[in-house]
Amino acid sequence: MKMTLVTLVLVVALSTKALLGEAGPAPEQIVDTSGKKVRAGENYYIVPASSDVGGLALSTTGQDCPLDVVAVDGYQGQQLSFLPVNDKKGVIRVSTDLNIFFSTYTSCSQSTVWKLKDYDYSTSQWFLTTGGSLGNPGSQTITNWFKIEKYEDAYKMVYCPSVCNYCNYPCSDIGIYQDQYGKRLALTSEPYKVQFQKVQY
């Protein structure tokens, strides 16, 4: 018996589906301190999940500009926002590349978008600074992409971008390195455990 065109199309479709496999579930949505979804373009404070370290802010660390990212005790910090690699997605999810930027004006000409600073040989550290660019994932912006991961009963931030398969870069948790300039964000083995607090106007 001849196979009809409809049957042939159905067989090809099923075979293709079997080869490609089912799409996996979307990564978990990140929620703020009120239990609501963290959304792109809205403003939040990144606050500690414990009381031993403060929120995040911009600060000078030996030079006027660009400003680096530091934790400040006794202060919820400055407002930040997130832009996922797929800017059409409104909800921020774990394990997803994103830009992080302070929603504030500064006297520096550089942007407030986070980026990984050049390796500091004097301290043997990779610090977080600003001056990155939004979007345009690829080798030219590899230092601008970060991720948020679930960590115990809260979250942690990591530098381990997926936007360039052939690029060489360190892959690490983001934690605190303290020196004469304060509590600076850097790539460390001890993550900075955080929560996201929605800014209320």
Domains in the chain, please, with CATH?
42-198 (2.80.10.50)
Beta-bridge mates of residue 104 = none
The model's pLDDT over 32-43, given as tens digits with 9 standing for 90+, comes to 999 999 999 999
Question: What pLDDT digit, counting tens, does each position of 53-69 carry?
Answer: 779 999 999 889 999 99
